[in-house]
Structure 1
Amino acid sequence: MGIEGSAPTTLIQVTVQADWTDVIADALRLSSTGTFWVSCYKRGSPSVHGAAKVTVVGDRKVHLTGHDGIILEAITNYSFKVKIPEYDNIEVEVYGSGRRYNINKISSMDVSPEGALFVTGSEDGILRIGETESGRITQELKAHIQYINTCRFFPSGQVVLSGGGDFLLKVWSVLDGSCPVTMMGHIKPISDTAIVDRGRNVISSSNDGTVKLWEVASGTTIRTLSQHEDRVNAIALDSWASTVESTRALDPKEVGTEGKLVIAASEGGTLYGLDVRASEEAFQRKSYNKAPLRACAYSAQHSLVVSGTSEGVVEIFDIRKTEFQRGTAGISSIVFSSPSSSSLTSGQNGPGLIIGCDDSGLYETQGIQGEAMVQVLREYVGYDLDGPTRARVVGRGPALVAISKEGGLLRFSGTLGGTQPTASV
């Protein structure tokens, strides 16, 4: 359990040769052998650099043999388990992905609720909507005149909300690419967005330090929920049992704001909890080392709030506060994973976390519950990308889609002992 000011728990990081899935594919195609490197890191401990030998056995099944201080066990042909004796035999699963479709300069992304569609926003202001299974782009829209920092599907999956460097929020039809609503009110770029219930109201944050509540139908601001000196980099919204009393009259344009809490992560290192209905601050916390906060997530079901800093520290708290750190690369994305997926081998019933990093790293923790120590469950590797990584879970999981600014859109899937993870979009 974390204590204010105490050092974060240090996690293991496993990296693998970028083209390791190609090595396996060649071995399967030619019924031959191959080798790729595997490295393991833990801050404060010597790094471990080993090799994996690939052999094909039986009916096109891959067998992996670890060398130089690591033990490997194949899960599927394109996923495996790493055990590191040097680090108290800690085990980490590694999943790989191929890449089918390149989308340059991606700055934001989302996946529709049912998992069939994805949307990406790019630095050139282009919004692209496509199919997660095939990677086929169905809509390509010149949405903003500057980069798109945020794009979100509405719960229907038929409408997308985008926010850009041009200070604008826009609503887009998935069916015909039309833009029926444009919202203006921030004086600096939009940083993040959240959808309230079915989407009659939405919430936005901005580099101007504000968090605003909007009515979509009229495209107007209902009110500013908070104003901060530092820019707000990310927000997360869910329900809560409000402890804030308010005499504020209900605005007739508000729908579904009762019992809602929005988490706001600021560049100044403060995490704010804002009661939407009352428009009042419920709590605030300073980040570890007061580092800038770049990502946040909130699960009302598990009473967990999670934040990630520019120094790579992830903080988790409800009545407790927990910190861990895998590396020093900044945290660019945090999402909760399916409890069934993240706890499959961990014995934990809580949700895991899928964490994207500024160095293109992408990893998943075991299910988080009670006082149990946080551990890395899976590394998603085997691609050669550059830039911050963001992720979304497809449907109910365990498949996930990830993007990196300079590389493309990737899809990972497959459960432990299941079928081969599919290639990326």
Structure 2
Amino acid sequence: MIDEAVIQRDFRAVIDDARRGAVAREAFWVRVNGQRHDFECAGDSVRALGDWQFGQDADTVVLSNGSKTVRIGLADSRAESELDVSCVATTVDGDLALGSANGALEFARTDGTFQTIANAHYANVLDVQFFPSKQVVASMGLDYSVKIWSFLDGSNPRTLRKHTASLTGLAIIGKGRNVVTGARDGAVYVWQCATGEAVWEFRRVREPCDPVVGLAVLDDGTVSDQAAAVQDTIFFEMQGKNLLVAHESGVVAIYDMETRSATGELFAGKNITAMDAHEDLLVTGHSDGTVRCFKSYELCWEQKGAEEVRKIQIAQGKIFCLFRQLVALTPKGEQQSILYQEEKPNNFTVANDGVYTASLKAVHKFSHGTRAPVLL
């Protein structure tokens, strides 16, 4: 079972007041899986009023009762926004692109400049991604469109629109001359960014309208001897790449991007709601809270959360799963930590310098730190 935790909002102030001598004694609580655990602070010590011990450093709380340990990661920083932030993307340089629930985009550049595009989409921005150049951003909206933006000046040279239902997946191929989108209409389109045209369509043969709920592009490092003739003006950097498409029915379809041909299907369990893949790992999330991990397309473990899995990302050697809270699992299925914030996160992205979460009026950042908290 994947753990959930809630910690008293002002617990850090409670501990600090006791350490400073502002109060002789003060208490706070933590709930783990709905059960409350109380702790009393006096001076520099935190005493457990039960079986659970409490430990903390700057960015991690550890609760342990001898047989079980729960790690709660705390945000390093919080950036305020005027938006109800629905999604976030970042570059290695620290630039940020934010999407909002009312269709706006915000670009926050490391030179200190900001740009808000008020009507980027007609409705909720579902996803934002930087192209490898870091100068171009793709946004995916509830208005069935993907838009390409200049991060430098906010211009919108291309709009990709052909789907007839809500978009659920966006992937940038290589340098970004092609992108792939999936939607609940069952279609997966390969787009040529230079023209804004859909140049290929994938669908399941047996159930062509099976809703797409996620997609991932894998590079297997090989080039097929039976590849279709390369059309340099349409398809770019497709060699050695496989496209994995998760469908609501539970089927994950696999396509060879070089030949644009179906190579197989995997049944991962019904009602898939999220999916990601990296190297030989494929991880699916489901409406009943189940997370399943496949290695080389063979099931190796599953875990159960309390509610629907909203997003999965495999990065930094971890599997990040968004339920009501964001949790990090190891590739072996062990829960590493809960990335805790008071507001319910709408979305997240994992970057080299940390994990960024999108929520109402704010973006939180969690480090990838590995320091071991000290029991108090």
Q: TM-score range by the shorter chain?
A: 0.7 to 0.9
The residue number in structure 1 matching 2:177 is 200
The answer to whether the aligner puts 1:240 opposite 2:204 as a matched pair is: no
Distance in structure 1 (CA, Å) of the matches to 2:8 and 2:59:
13
The answer to whether the aligner puts 1:384 opposite 2:342 as a matched pair is: yes
Task: Judging by fraction of residues, say which structure has more strand.
Answer: 2
Contact 1:36 1:52 in 2 (8 A): yes
Distance in structure 2 (CA, Å) of the matches to 1:24 and 1:196:
49
Task: Give matches, 1:89-128, under 5 Å.
Answer: 89-97=67-75, 99-112=78-91, 114=92, 116-128=94-106
Distance in structure 1 (CA, Å) of the matches to 2:39 and 2:174:
48
Distance in structure 2 (CA, Å) of the matches to 1:158 and 1:231:
32
User: Deviation at 1:315?
Assistant: 1.0
Distance in structure 2 (CA, Å) of the matches to 1:245 and 1:208:
33
User: Deviation at 1:317?
Assistant: 0.6
The residue number in structure 1 matching 2:197 is 220
Task: Give matches, 1:184-333, under 5 Å.
Answer: 184-227=161-204, 228-240=208-220, 248-252=228-232, 253-288=234-269, 290-291=270-271, 293-300=272-279, 303-319=280-296, 320-333=298-311
Distance in structure 1 (CA, Å) of the matches to 2:214 and 2:89:
14
Question: Residues 14, 167 of structure 1: CA spacing in aligned structure 2 closer, same or farther, 3 A cutoff?
Answer: closer
Give SS of 1:116's match: coil
Contact 2:87 2:127 in 1 (8 A): yes
Task: Give matches, 1:6-155, under 5 Å.
Answer: 10-24=1-15, 32=23, 34-41=26-33, 48-55=35-42, 57=44, 63-74=45-56, 76-85=57-66, 89-97=67-75, 99-112=78-91, 114=92, 116-130=94-108, 138-141=114-117, 142-155=119-132
The residue number in structure 2 matching 1:44 is none
Distance in structure 1 (CA, Å) of the matches to 2:355 and 2:164:
34
Distance in structure 1 (CA, Å) of the matches to 2:58 and 2:29:
16
Which stretch shifts more, 20-29 or 225-234? 20-29
User: Deviation at 1:31?
Assistant: 5.1
| 1:36 maps to amino acid | F
The residue number in structure 2 matching 1:363 is 327
| 1:336 maps to amino acid | I
Question: Residues 53, 305 of structure 1: CA spacing in aligned structure 2 closer, same or farther, 3 A cutoff?
Answer: same
User: Deviation at 1:190?
Assistant: 2.4
| 1:403 maps to amino acid | A
Give SS of 1:110's match: strand
User: Deviation at 1:202?
Assistant: 0.8
Contact 1:261 1:275 in 2 (8 A): yes
Question: Residues 145, 271 of structure 1: CA spacing in aligned structure 2 closer, same or farther, 3 A cutoff?
Answer: same
Give SS of 1:101's match: strand
Contact 1:332 1:389 in 2 (8 A): no
Distance in structure 2 (CA, Å) of the matches to 1:287 and 1:20:
41
Give SS of 1:150's match: strand
Question: Residues 123, 165 of structure 1: CA spacing in aligned structure 2 closer, same or farther, 3 A cutoff?
Answer: same
The residue number in structure 2 matching 1:182 is 159
Structure 2 residue runs of 5 or longer lacking an equivalent are none
| Residues matched between the structures, number | 365
User: Deviation at 1:183?
Assistant: 2.0
Which stretch shifts more, 326-335 or 28-37? 28-37
TM-score, normalising length: structure 2: 0.86
- Show CA shifts across 1:277-309 (max 9, x none): 222223322333x12x22211112xx1111111
The residue number in structure 2 matching 1:401 is 356
Query: What is the alpha-carbon root mean square deviation over aligned residues?
Result: 2.8
Structure 1 residue runs of 5 or longer lacking an equivalent are 1-9, 42-46, 58-62, 339-350, 420-425
Contact 1:362 1:389 in 2 (8 A): no
- Show CA shifts across 1:156-177 (max 9, x none): 2111011222222211111111
Distance in structure 1 (CA, Å) of the matches to 2:184 and 2:294:
25
The residue number in structure 2 matching 1:353 is 319
Contact 2:2 2:306 in 1 (8 A): no
The residue number in structure 1 matching 2:364 is 410
Question: Residues 414, 325 of structure 1: CA spacing in aligned structure 2 closer, same or farther, 3 A cutoff?
Answer: closer
Question: Residues 48, 100 of structure 1: CA spacing in aligned structure 2 closer, same or farther, 3 A cutoff?
Answer: same
Give the 4+ runs in structure 1 shifted more than 6 A: 242-245
